[in-house]
Amino acid sequence: MDIQAAVAFTAGNPLSLETVTLELPQAGEVLIEIKATGVCHTDAYTLSGADPEGLFPAILGHEGAGIVVEVGAGVTSLKPGDHVIPLYTPECRNCEYCLSQKTNLCQAIRTTQGRGVMPNGTSRFSIDGKMIHHYMGTSTFANYTVLPEIAVAKIREDAPFEKVCLIGCGVTTGLGAVINTAKVEPGNNVVVFGLGGIGLNVIQAARMVGANMIIGVDLNPKKRVLAEKLGMTHFVNPSEIDGDLVPYLVELTKGGADYSFECIGNVNVMRQALECCHKGWGVSVVVGVAGAGQEISTRPFQLVTGRVWKGTAFGGARGRTDVPKIVDWYMDGKINIDDLVTKIMPIEQINEAFDLMHRGEVIRAVLTF
Ligand code: NAD
Ligand code: AHE
Ligand code: ZN
């Protein structure tokens, strides 16, 4: 079938709206009509060429929501008409990783996903017979996409697509980093570096679990108002303080953070996030994704003296199980997504949506079809 998609032909260049040929779902696969998709910084990171796994041409996008149109042979958990959120972290419930109960990193299809193809090794997307890669197994910058059944979360039908699409990445990543990965406890002091789509969800989760100080760090002063609305108690702009940031934060928290979260993708900030943690027990969670060739460093003494460095992907969430629950949280008014959707735009304006994100003028621009 012919579909409309924003295609990334080469790194570092704008996306191009194209008519793309999409093959119908094969065994174990599902055809989804995408109704809305957010733009996450990771899409921009891959488009920039910094992603060692980045493949071109590709259809990017991984923060979508839509409706099942058709299912392939053997699909049992989904049917046409189901409302769904695509999952870049699948949940097969059968692989060594799923069965371990120690990680959300289902590996059932990770190899082919990283090669930009479906589990049988081929792509469903092409233009004039030339193959277009899938991206993160989701490719939501298209009005129709195909996913494996294990990478689709079924959600309730009264949830608005243009809001709950953010649960496909930003919301779940931020909430999950706090709840699943760090396991922040009431009374803890928390420092959040980067107040974008991820960091603001870290903040709202920290408030939900009863954190004491919730310190937000961002170079953009415009991020302050919404962060405060979501629960930030103190704002720190590194460009406005006297002296170094780490001792400033240690002093502010009277000894260091119980938990810190790096939500930028800057390896220098990752070091600051670790080193502002409390001696003896502070835990720093790396959420941000850094470019090819970048490495983190610190004095091993920081770890010897009890600080812990961790990371999280998709907030440690098991998508088919956890995503429908987070949709319920939103529908029950327990979490705020409305304020994170700064702008809703037609897919034709996708390059403007990327520009707005780069200029720090939106938390999320959501594209509709
Ligand atoms: P975003 O662009 O919305 O937000 C980034 C924020 O960081 C902005 O507010 C910006 O002003 C601020 N910032 C930039 N440089 C800074 C600095 N040096 N000091 C302080 N603040 C600074 O991005 P996002 O969509 O929230 O994504 C954040 C990061 O998380 C990205 O690296 C993204 O790739 C990554 N990410 C990871 C996961 C995961 O599963 N681990 C999921 C989603 C996103
Ligand atoms: N391809 C990159 C890694 C990108 C990355 O870490 N992705 C996160 C999700 S970011 C969502 O916005 C993730 O889920 N990682 C686990 C995984 O298996 O990819 C690189 O550096 O190679
Ligand atoms: Zn993302």
pTM (predicted TM-score): 0.98
What is the distance in A from the centroid of ligand 3 to the CA of 61?
8
In this structure, the residue with its CA closest to atom 10 of ligand 2 is 42
pLDDT band at 195 (very low <50, low <70, confident <90, very high): very high
Q: Which domains does the chain have, with CATH numbers?
A: 2-168+337-368 (3.90.180.10), 174-312 (3.40.50.720)
Residues 32-47 have pLDDT tens digits of: 999 999 999 999 999 9
What pLDDT is stored for residue 249 in this prediction? Answer: 98
* pLDDT the model gives residue 332: 98
Note the pLDDT tens digit of each residue in 69-117: 999 999 999 999 999 999 999 999 999 999 999 999 999 999 999 999 9
| Model confidence band, residue 342 (pLDDT cutoffs 50, 70, 90) | very high
Q: Indicate which atom in ligand 2 lies nearest the CA of residue 43.
A: 12
Question: Per-residue confidence at 288, pLDDT binned at 50, 70, 90?
Answer: very high
Distance in Å, CA 261 to ligand 3 centroid: 16
> Residue 123 in contact with residue 133, Cβ under 8 Å?
yes
Interval between CA 50 and ligand 1 midpoint (Å): 15
pLDDT for res 246: 98
Q: How confident is the model at residue 199 (pLDDT cuts 50, 70, 90)?
A: very high
Whether 176 lines ligand 1, by a CB cut-off of 6 Å, is no
Work out the pLDDT band at 306, boundaries 50, 70, 90: very high
Confidence of residue 280 (pLDDT cuts 50, 70, 90): very high
Angle between helices 350-358 and 41-48 (to 10 degrees): 100
pLDDT for residue 198: 98
